[in-house]
Amino acid sequence: MSKEVSELTKKKIFDYCMESFAENGYSNVGVRNISEGTGLSTGAIYYHFSSKEKIAQFLYDTAIEILLNKIVSAVEKSSNDKEALKSIIFTFFKLTDEEPNLMKYMLYTKHKDFLHEAMPICSDKPFEYIKKFIKAKIKEGVFRDMDILIAATLIMGPVIRIIQLKMEGMIKKDLIRYTDPLFDGISKSIFKKQV
């Protein structure tokens, strides 16, 4: 099997399982369901993953890396601290608008129920990166001097709540339109000097 075919097969499995695990719960989705949902034979699935647990680990690791890479890229492309913070918010909203199943999987799936060694999503790489960013900005005097957990909650709490409102159907429009007003509110509570 060529590498390209193998990657396409893994993507098919990833896309189906991400949505199905988030919607139905990990324990309610079997390899037979995955086979039917992807159109792949069980043999093709087992060729790539030795067990459903390996699929779950692949899903978790891939989702974490996608979010981390998007956040790091957004921050690194920013020309100043305000733009970096706004880019973090925008990245979460854009990802929710464009890949709602990924965000649903990350926020609503109880990963600890089936990946006992997995860290909670809010303690994994993307959020650790955001906490390091916050810590650096506090140390530089850009953000107010406060507990990192409080600062992270002031930033990410409203972002996650807006995402939840979208997923619950309370918000019908694209989330990226909420970037500026939410950033304005967050920046007033987090930045030391208001511009």
Percent of the chain's residues with pLDDT above 70: 96
What does the alpha-carbon distance between residue 183 and residue 176 come to, in Å, rounded to a whole number?
11
| CATH architecture type of domain 52-190 | Orthogonal Bundle (1.10)
3-state secondary structure (DSSP) of residue 115:
coil
What is the CA angle 86-88-89, rounded to 5? Answer: 65
In contact, 100 and 108? CB cutoff 8 Å: no
Between CA 38 and CA 8, with CA 5 as vertex, the angle to 5 degrees is: 45
- pLDDT tens for the chain, residues 1 to 195: 677 768 888 989 999 998 898 888 888 999 999 999 999 999 989 999 999 889 988 998 998 999 999 999 999 999 999 999 999 999 999 999 999 988 888 888 777 777 877 776 666 889 999 999 999 999 999 999 999 999 999 999 999 999 999 999 999 999 999 999 999 999 999 998 865
Domain boundaries, the chain: 52-190
Task: Give the Cα separation of 126 and 62 in Å (integer).
Answer: 12
**Distance between CA atoms of 86 and 89, rounded to whole angstroms?**
5
Q: Residue 166 burial (CB < 10 Å; 0-12/13-18/19+)?
A: buried
Mean pLDDT of the chain: 90
